[in-house]
Chains A and B, each alone.
Chain A
Amino acid sequence: MDRANYGNSISGAGLVWKWQRLLWWIFALNLVFAFFATQGMVDRLGPALDHSKASQYFVHGFDVSQMAALASQPDSPLEFQGPTVIHFSIVFMILMLFFTGGILATYVRDERPAAGIFFESCGYYFWRFVRLLIYMLIVFLPIGGLVALASMMYSRIDDRSISPYSAVHFFLAAAVVILFLLIVIRIWFDMAQVIAVAEDEKRMHKALRLAFSLFFRNFFSLLWIYLRAAVVACLIVGLCLYFWMKKLPPEATLVAFLLSQFMLVVWIAARLWQRASESAWYRRHAPVVAQEPAWTPPPVIAPIAMPDPEPYTPPTT
């Protein structure tokens, strides 16, 4: 293992641990949004289930046919509010785009800012990250074309082969390639974000060029930083899922909830670990010394000089 990489990962993990407040805020926001998104369903489900013996179909085990029966009731107590969930998810995504500036600034500076400074950083970098998001969506277009092509080829192979394995093997190979390309793009744009913060670079096309050059020259070390965190997260989440599905008693609702939230925490922590490791890596490997990010103090607003009020003159009768 590359010592420098090991150092980056450790220092990245250390940054996440040190500034774990960021992790918990993101987790809390995610959880609150999810509660709001699903509250409507819960409000309808409670009256149907809470005082009914039939709710035991879901407590001692989980009877799928009873779930289907519940879903088929005319008042739709089990309606999963898809649009609401999607809307909240989009809002969460926008908020994360907003907070990324402050998060990266914290990791790059390795300093704890005051709340006002943190949010000011978020706003300071927000439009740069919006532009980067637009660039990324453009870069995704050929990936989308590749997915469509792979899908077409999969259908053709599946249709022409009497054995199911031909299409399955193709699917696995295509999935690996596409996933790899997505990860590469993600690392590239993450690096561009770090440059935007560390160098206070306002031109996103320049940040992308620099990021691409850095990434290309240090491809495997940066890739390994990302894959390591992802693999650890997938292993832990996989184990938790296995335990939840196979070992946990069906009545253990609270434990199941805690386990599900633990998986989220692990996932978010892994993502922050990637961001922090990359920030630490950049500080060690940047071609120029990273300039202090522009943590601009709030402007001093001179008080407006108010004219002296005129003396009161009572009205004459």
Chain B
Amino acid sequence: MRLAGLSCVILGCAIFSGMSSAPLFAQAAAGPLLSHPAPVAPSDEKTLSVRIVAYTIDAKLDPTKHVIDATETLTYRNLTGKPQQTFPFHMYLNAFQPQSTFMTEVRRAGTRGSGPDTAWDPKHFGAITMEKLEAEGSGDLTSKMAFIHPDDNNTEDRTVFQVTLDKPVAPGSSVTFHMTFRDQLPEVVERTGYKHDFDMVGQWFPKVGVWWKDAWNCHQFHANSEFFADFGTFDVKITVPQNEIVGAGGDLVSSHPNSDGTKTLAYHSEDVHDFSWAASPSFTEKNDSWDGPNGPVAIHILMSPGHMATYPRYLSNLKGTLQLFNDWYGPYAYDRITLIDPPHGGLDAGGMEYPTLITAGTAWDMPKGLLAPEGVTEHEFGHQYWYGMVATNEFEEAWLDEGINSYTEVKVMDALYGKNTSTMAWSFAQMGEHGQQRAGYLGSDDSDAIAQFAWKYRNSNSYGAITYGKTATMLATLEQVIGEDTLRQAIHTYFMRYRFTHPTGTDFLKTIEEVSGKDLKWYFDQAVYGTNVFDYEIDDAHSDPLKWWDTSMAHPKPADGIYRTYVTVRRKGDFIFPVDLEVKFDDGTTATEHWDGRDRWFRYQYDRKAQIVSAEIDPQTQLYLDRNFFNNSYVEQGDARATHKFRNLWVFVSEWLSQLLAWLT
């Protein structure tokens, strides 16, 4: 999903030595320490991933009706270790119907761009219709398809079906399905669909579920969930009118014109778990490349009309992000990346990730000081690692993809554009990614934990705030405990160890503990699995003459010059975290304390020939999870300039509103 970003390109990348870059096939063969049983490929297979699925799809797009007619051959390798006879499939496009679980949840609690006041418009209707389903050895299974509802018993929902074969598929064997289906693309509401002459084709084919943790994992499509699928290969032929320009997540193998005014493009992609594409006759194609450690990465950018001014921003950010991800977390495994710029009015298709294809987003009047195009580009490319290669279960642990990605977004954008200006960089207003992620988290209450099924959040605001903002903020705060470099090393280790293997949150957290050498259960229990509120404050700070009875209004200063200073720190929330306290005195001395933060409050007392100047919790401002920075400090000598500034603004607005109304007189 997209996020806002900001621009002033400063390529300050730090190259860390010692980064493991062992050949990827060796990593796959070694086998990671997963928290759950994982499919095991034959030992002589030297591929990036364990390839369970092989899709061959032949599709034809009718751009006037936004209909796709296609055939699909799926060869499924049973590496589950058990005989399998029943297979579930995703039919995501059926979510764009009013009675679906997806639309029901949108109507109830909203999602990206849509909310409870969303009116149903027939042009938002989308569907995938299975016209024929066969399996080798079982014949025609079309009539045996049964829609299931594993999540909510909504019998009207058609986003998951299952089919039972005549005979089970033995462990180690394969089964081949042949399907004929038709897609009706909706006018884009979310991710997939059309707008004007632009067709964004994602989640468009019947996709088999994942055998995971000894069971089929094939959830219905929800308003706040994304996707989960097995790795494999894709061979896709796309037939479109000759004037259409296509961008796809695969290597273009061939392109040939047909006699009926169409052309057929053939793509091949391997070690990925999805295939998507977009087409429009209005695209402007731009090609570039980036030199990576595994060879050049082809960059294919398709720009929509009116947006060409953003092209250099997209390109610059993509290259910078590629470089930093390679330096910090590991090598990018593919030889290409395609960026689709949705057209005006089609932003609902933007801010999305698919293997080796991302959709960004901009506007014709995007100001240079607002780094939204850069932010969305970085964010969606970052998904190539966490969603694309590590490939965690986005239904059940959305935070592992969105949250880690949001954290790495902060690091990359700050490195490229400056810590305080990586989202907004105007002379009169600034915003950095840290602040943006934190503000996103603070905008929602703490009614949900980070580790939660995606569709079980209270509403879309909570889902977005917690999975993105709180996870990023939680990881940023973790730097205070284990150090920024250690956390980076931990994430690098996690990536290198678990890519192409569908790890879980337990795997991620255990990796952090392993690399840091620290027991962090106390932190994760509160921050990841709990809803504890983090808020420490300076409750009181003042100095009083020690022999106060010897002073008076006429002689306020003590004869011996000794003051007793009290500083009371308080834990307002229920999140327990050790905090540092710094107390400064007017003789230039400083007292530094470390409080374990367990009690509700603690009072420090100092007897000195000096009075207090300031008291501050977390003087380095690294405890981003703290809900309120404004109560973390007390300064004896107040500074009302900030209040005056806000007052000036509001007075200005109020005066102009009065003038506007007075114009009527």
Residues of B within 8 A of A292 (CB): none
Binary contact readout B168-204 vs A (1 if CB under 8 angstroms, 0 otherwise): 0000000000000000000000000001111000000
Stretch at the interface among B222-230, B319-327, B420-428: B420-428
Q: For the complex, what is the distance from the CA of A244 to the CA of B431, rounded to whole Å?
A: 19
Residues of A within 8 A of B427 (CB): 245-247
Stretch at the interface among B127-135, B284-292, B380-388, B639-647: B639-647
Are B442 and A38 closer than 8 Å at their CB atoms? no
Q: For the complex, what is the distance from the CA of A247 to the CA of B427, rounded to whole Å?
A: 8
Are A66 and B629 closer than 8 Å at their CB atoms? yes
Are A62 and B641 closer than 8 Å at their CB atoms? no
Q: Give which listed residue, B304, B635, B642, contacts A58 with CB less than 8 A.
A: B642
- Residues A63 and B630 in contact in the complex (CB < 8 Å), given A245-B428, A264-B659: no
Total A-B residue contacts, Cβ distance less than 8 Å: 210
Q: Give which listed residue, B616, B628, B665, contacts A133 with CB less than 8 A.
A: B665
Residues of A52-110 whose CB lies within 8 A of B = 52-59, 61-66, 68-70, 72-73, 78, 80, 85-86, 88-90, 92-93, 96-97, 100
Stretch at the interface among A144-152, A159-167, A196-204, A298-306: A159-167
- B662 interfacial by beta-carbon distance below 8 Å: yes
How far is the CB of B364 from the nearest CB of chain A, in Å?
Answer: 4
Are A162 and B630 closer than 8 Å at their CB atoms? no
- B343 interfacial by beta-carbon distance below 8 Å: yes
- Residues A30 and B432 in contact in the complex (CB < 8 Å), given A59-B642, A253-B645: no
Residues of A within 8 A of B197 (CB): 162
Q: Give which listed residue, A86, A186, A246, contacts B428 with CB less than 8 A.
A: A246
- Residues A93 and B648 in contact in the complex (CB < 8 Å), given A53-B633, A161-B344: no
Are B420 and A163 closer than 8 Å at their CB atoms? no
Residues of A within 8 A of B635 (CB): 51-53
Are A34 and B442 closer than 8 Å at their CB atoms? no
- B658 interfacial by beta-carbon distance below 8 Å: yes
Are B638 and A50 closer than 8 Å at their CB atoms? yes
Residues of A within 8 A of B638 (CB): 50-51
- Residues A54 and B629 in contact in the complex (CB < 8 Å), given A85-B654, A164-B344: yes
Q: Give which listed residue, A55, A64, A264, contacts B642 with CB less than 8 A.
A: A55
Q: For the complex, what is the distance from the CA of A263 to the CA of B305, rounded to whole Å?
A: 39
- A143 interfacial by beta-carbon distance below 8 Å: no
Q: Give which listed residue, B442, B616, B662, B664, contacts A68 with CB less than 8 A.
A: B442
- B653 interfacial by beta-carbon distance below 8 Å: yes
Stretch at the interface among B64-72, B433-441, B561-569: B433-441
- B634 interfacial by beta-carbon distance below 8 Å: yes
Q: For the complex, what is the distance from the CA of A268 to the CA of B659, rounded to whole Å?
A: 8
- Residues A69 and B654 in contact in the complex (CB < 8 Å), given A49-B643, A61-B420: no
Q: Give which listed residue, B345, B428, B660, contacts A159 with CB less than 8 A.
A: B345
Stretch at the interface among A8-16, A40-48, A207-215: A40-48
Q: For the complex, what is the distance from the CA of A161 to the CA of B195, rounded to whole Å?
A: 10
Q: Give which listed residue, A31, A48, A68, A168, contacts B439 with CB less than 8 A.
A: A68
Interface size class of B (residues with CB under 8 A): 35 or more
Residues of A within 8 A of B117 (CB): none
How far is the CB of B441 from the nearest CB of chain A, in Å?
Answer: 9
Q: For the complex, what is the distance from the CA of A7 to the CA of B661, rounded to whole Å?
A: 30
- A251 interfacial by beta-carbon distance below 8 Å: yes
- A260 interfacial by beta-carbon distance below 8 Å: yes
Residues of A243-267 whose CB lies within 8 A of B = 244-247, 250-251, 253-254, 256-257, 260, 264, 267
- A120 interfacial by beta-carbon distance below 8 Å: no
Instruction: Please give me the residue from chain A that is nearest to B657 by CB atom.
Output: A89
- B631 interfacial by beta-carbon distance below 8 Å: yes
Are B630 and A52 closer than 8 Å at their CB atoms? yes
How far is the CB of A48 from the nearest CB of chain B, in Å?
Answer: 5
Are A260 and B364 closer than 8 Å at their CB atoms? no
Are B632 and A54 closer than 8 Å at their CB atoms? yes
Given contacts A62-B645, A129-B665, A162-B345, 9 further A-B contacts (CB under 8 A): A52-B629, A66-B439, A69-B442, A85-B654, A92-B662, A93-B658, A163-B305, A254-B644, A260-B648
Measuring CB to CB, which residues of chain B are less than 8 angstroms from any residue of chain A? 195-198, 282, 304-306, 343-345, 363-364, 420, 423-424, 426-432, 434-436, 438-439, 442-443, 614, 616, 627-636, 638-648, 650-665
In the complex, the 10 A-B pairs of residues with the closest C-beta atoms, listed nearest first: A65-B435, A55-B642, A162-B196, A34-B654, A68-B439, A93-B661, A164-B344, A58-B642, A53-B633, A50-B638
